[in-house]
Structure formats: C-alpha cells, structure tokens
Amino acid sequence: MIQTLPYSTLLQYVYNELPLERQREVEEVLQHDPELASTCADLLLAQRALDGVRCEPRTQTSEVILRYSRTFLVNY
Amino acid sequence: MDHLQPSDSALISLYLAGQESAFAILLERHRSRAYTTILLIVRDEDVAEDLLQDTFIKAIHTLKSGRYNEEGKFAPWICRIAHNLAIDSFRRGKRVPHVSLTDNDRLANTLTIADDGPDDILAREETHARLRALIQELPAAQKEVLLMRHYGDMSFQEIADATGVSINTALGRMRYALINLRKKMTTNSVYYDSNLTLFDTAPVRVQRIAS
C-alpha cells in the first residue's frame, strides 16, 4: 500500500514540528491509513526507546557548575 | 502542567537579574539532554562530566557577559555547545571507548521507572546499554542528526542550518538512522528484550492519535 504522507512529515509530526493546522491534517490521515498509523507508532516507540538511553550526570557535577556560577557573579 | 513552568527565556532574565536559583532550574531542565549528547559522542563518563561542566561554564560566561542572543532558543544553543565540545574532545582523542555499565548508582540514575524488580531493571539497562552501543555504530552524519534532534532538542531546520545541509537531507539522515537502529536491534537479537522492543506497536499509536 502506498502511504499517503511522506515519512519526513511523520518525523516532523512526532517531534512536534508541524504547525497546528498541519498536525490536524496528519491526524486525520492517520485515522484512515492503518499502515501509516503503524509507521507512526514505530516512530513513537523508537522515541521512547531513545528516551530510555538518556543518562543523568552525577550530582556533584551540577553542584560544581552552580558553585562556578555563584563565584562568577562575585568576580564579575 | 508545562504551562505553569517558567520558560527558558524567563529563567534567563531572572538569572541575569541575579537570581541564581533560576540558573539551577535551567541546569536541572537541560543537563540530562546535554550530558547524554556528550556521552554518546565521547563514550567516557568522566570525560562527559568534565565536558558538561565546560558546556555550562561557557554558557554562564556568554549569559553574564551579555552576549547571549535572545532570539535563539536555549535548548538548541546549549546542545550545540555540548555537541561541539564533545566532537572537539573526540577528535583530540581524549576518550577511552568504554562506558561503565555496572555501577549500580549510575544504573539507578538512568532508569525512569523505579518500581520494577531487579531482573526487570537489569534487563532494561542491558537493552539500553545495547542501544547506546548501536547508536555509536551509526554513520557519523546519521548519528549527528539523531543526537541533535532527540537529545539536543534542535529542530530539523536548525540541524540543517548547523550542519550546512537541506532540511530534507537532515530528515533523510534521521530516517536512515532509525532504520539502521531497527536493523541492528533485530540483528543483535541476543540483546533483544520483547518488553522493550524498539518497534512494537498498538498502545502508543492509540495514545498519540488521541492526544
């Protein structure tokens, strides 16, 4: 089946880069195109997986940065 | 309730007016994205911590010297600094190609779901570790777009401008990055966890369409 929207538009949609009007158009198409909806779901799950990779720095690193900011203010 | 949170722009104004707590919120809001971007490039936690400090110190200097461009968005700006510092560091060879995956404190830090049992946590972290490794294997241009878009919060147009390509090229690179990750996850099925599949379907589709 030929998809009714290009993949690039879906990418922009899942990353909230489309204007509201265009978002609504995409959502309208998604409701009538199961294959496109499945592709969109794939993208959203990929986003979720990539979110899981996110890491936090050590607390001490943040403290050093904040201390530097306070010191910089004094010296400025 | 995002609308109740002060915008980055408002926090910057408060910070420049002397409210250090505003900068603490900015740091809290953006450190994870910046740190992940750096770590996925330099692949060494100690180097990444140092570069994260450098990133925000550079930001502090720019902000307090009045050189920050109010027209730009803070998130993409801080990501560009982090990305550039990480790339410079990587090119200088100041990294050891190793990411510790056994430190329990760090492991707990990376998890977003705290109620899972130990086996679930380990399985999840193993999958995340494998995904991190697979991201490293992507072609440089694809990895660059993936990091800038997903962790750096840069729009595809901003990425296109920053890397000197068209928006269609940036979108195409992102597409192939995701396709390649999917292929690699499937190929490396020894690490594949059916509860954490990159590309399962139904529940999320319903959620997104309804939003």
Instruction: Select the residue of A17, A53, A57 nearest B52 (Cβ to Cβ).
Output: A57
How far apart are alpha carbons B168 and B172 in whole angstroms? 6
How far apart are alpha carbons B131 and B48 in whole angstroms? 18
CATH node for B8-99:
1.10.1740.10
B20, B25, B29, B33 alpha-carbon torsion, rounded to 10°: 30
How far apart are the CA of B20 and the nearest CA of chain A, in angstroms? 7
pLDDT of res. A71: 86
Query: Hey, are the CB atoms on B33 and A47 less than 8 Å from each other?
Result: no
**Where along chain B do the CATH 1.10.1740.10 domains lie?**
8-99
Task: Give yes or no for residue B41 having a pLDDT over 80.
Answer: yes
| Averaged pLDDT for residues B74-98 | 80
Residue in chain B nearest A55 by alpha carbon: B110
Fold adopted by B103-198: Arc Repressor Mutant, subunit A (1.10.10)
Q: Is B155 on the interface with A (CB under 8 A)?
A: yes
Q: Is B89 on the interface with A (CB under 8 A)?
A: no
DSSP-assigned letter for residue B148: I
Residue in chain B nearest A46 by alpha carbon: B198
How far apart are alpha carbons B77 and B26 in whole angstroms? 13
The pTM of the full predicted model, rounded to 2 decimals, is 0.74
Question: Pick from A55, A45, A43, A53: which is nearest to B131 by CA?
Answer: A53
pLDDT of res. B211: 37
Which is higher by pLDDT, A72 or B172? B172
- Taking the alpha carbons of A54, A55, A59, A64 in that order, is the dihedral positive or negative? negative
In a domain? residue A32 = yes
Instruction: Select the residue of A49, A65, A66 nearest B131 (Cβ to Cβ).
Output: A49
Regions in chain A scoring below 50 on pLDDT: 1, 74, 76
DSSP, residue by residue, B71-128: TS-HHHHHHHHHHHHHHHHHHTT---S------HHHHHHH-S--SS-HHHHHHHHHHH
Domain count, chain A: 1
Please report the ipTM that was assigned to this predicted complex: 0.83
| Contact assessment for residue A44 and residue B35, using Cβ atoms and an 8 Å cutoff | no
In a domain? residue A2 = no
Residue numbers of the domain that contains A19? 7-75
In a domain? residue A1 = no
